[in-house]
Structure 1
Amino acid sequence: MTEVATGGASWEIDGNTGGELAGRWWKWALSAPDDRSPVKDTTGEHAAWDQPDDVWFLAGTYGGRTTRTCPLPAGRPVFFPVLNMQHSRSHSKTPLSLPVAEALARLNGMPLQLSEFAGPFRTRFTRRYAWGLWGVLAPLIPGQYVLEIKADTGEGFWVDTTYHLTATAD
């Protein structure tokens, strides 16, 4: 199992803790129309869809290998899932987390700290529960970056995502 840290001051963005950010990420991801969904996007074309002003969300995937290229604003923190799930708490047989055989993220080859966060969030009609291993990037200076994200549950579900990021000045 990959060792992860618990939330702390570095996991607070504009007063939002890691669990709150995870809920915000899910609301963002679930609100996208199918034809502009950053999660379904295999190229990065829809990465900028409805981004909030205080943080930049990178999309997760539905598993497998994906390579995305996208610009993002320099000077804004970046929050992203490595491995995550969400569901209604009414499904008592649904586990509240996934098994983790491997989980890592690297920015330009340097390993990043991951943290596990869980918590409730509300969509327009329902209360949901989020769990995940998440990464955060401090605001980037203008330039080119490669973010690699890999995870494996050991039970057949795996993620291998590469982001080619260009941080641009506003």
Structure 2
Amino acid sequence: MRFGVGRAGLAAVVLAAVAGCGAGVAPGPEGAAGPVTASTAPAAVRVGLPSAELQGRWWSWAASEPSATNPVADEDGSACGRNQPQDVWFLAGTFGGQVARACEVPSGRPLLAPVVNSFGDPEDCAAFMTSAKGTVLLDGKAVEPESYPGDSIVVQALEGNPVTGEAGRFAATGCGLWVQLPPLAPGAHSLKIRGSAGDFSTGVDYALTVVAGR
């Protein structure tokens, strides 16, 4: 991740990830798509969370933990469950480079993850999106990322987090490539995400275990 953030004139903050904020957002609509398996995963899936809400919640979630327990700094998946909301499950990427993580996910939760993403002002996002690219493989099958060129978002950050570098609530423009997956079938799944923009690149190999009854 590259960043340099101030409330006045936010510089681009770059994250690449695979996972939001748990506060004050209603669950998605009833009747969402059922569990996905390797044989049924479509090329592109929309869970239905609006892009501005998705990005604001995810950045707030990523900025809700200090370095020691931050999901973006996580080396093995031990921080996967930190501050997860009740209606979705967020996954995180890295501050640059590649890691492998093993995570347990409760059944019935949609998965939301950035492939490569940024926030700043509208000009930052316009420049970022010119070179943003990435791939997603779910159980060996390609999932096409969704492109969000720029949304007005609100980020709530806690003191000591390594994502924004400061605490507080502020507005910004969020952008990037994202993937939304409906709930996966119970059992083991592989999710591989690779993203880049300019000279920044990231990747996460997730070994996900979806646990029924949790």
Normalised to the residue count of structure 2, the TM-score between the two structures is 0.67
2:151 counterpart (119, 130, 149): 119
Contact 2:116/2:133 (<8 A) preserved: no
Question: 2: CA distance between counterparts of 1:93 and 1:107?
Answer: 33
The residue number in structure 2 matching 1:4 is: none
The residue number in structure 1 matching 2:107 is: 74
Q: Where does the alignment leave 5 or more consecutive residues of structure 1 unmatched?
A: 1-8
1:93, distance to aligned residue in structure 2 (A): 5.8
How many residue pairs get aligned? The number is 156
1:138–1:93: structure 2 CA closer, same or farther, 3 Å change rule?
Answer: closer
Question: 1: CA distance between counterparts of 2:68 and 2:83?
Answer: 13
Partner letter of residue 54 of structure 2?
L
Partner letter of residue 62 of structure 2?
A
1:142–1:99: structure 2 CA closer, same or farther, 3 Å change rule?
Answer: same
1:53, distance to aligned residue in structure 2 (A): 0.4
Helix, strand or coil at the partner of 1:76: coil
Q: Which range is displaced more, 95-104 or 36-45?
A: 95-104
Matched, 1:142 2:186: yes
1:18–1:85: structure 2 CA closer, same or farther, 3 Å change rule?
Answer: same
1:104 counterpart (128, 135, 141): 135
Structure 1 vs Structure 2: percent identity of aligned residues? 34
Q: Please show how residues 19-168 of structure 1 align to structure 2 within 5 Å.
A: 19-87=52-120, 89=121, 94-96=124-126, 97-100=128-131, 102-117=133-148, 118-122=150-154, 123=156, 124-153=168-197, 155-168=198-211
Q: Cα deviation per residue 1:91-123 (whole Å; 9 max; x = unaligned)?
A: x76343344364110101000121012312223
RMSD: 2.0
Contact 1:11/1:18 (<8 A) preserved: no
Q: Cα deviation per residue 1:72-98 (whole Å; 9 max; x = unaligned)?
A: 1111100001000112x3xx7634334
Question: 2: CA distance between counterparts of 1:32 and 1:67?
Answer: 20
Helix, strand or coil at the partner of 1:94: helix
Helix, strand or coil at the partner of 1:84: strand
Partner letter of residue 111 of structure 2?
V
Q: Where does the alignment leave 5 or more consecutive residues of structure 2 unmatched?
A: 1-44, 157-167
1:10 counterpart (19, 41, 46): 46
Question: 2: CA distance between counterparts of 1:100 and 1:74?
Answer: 35
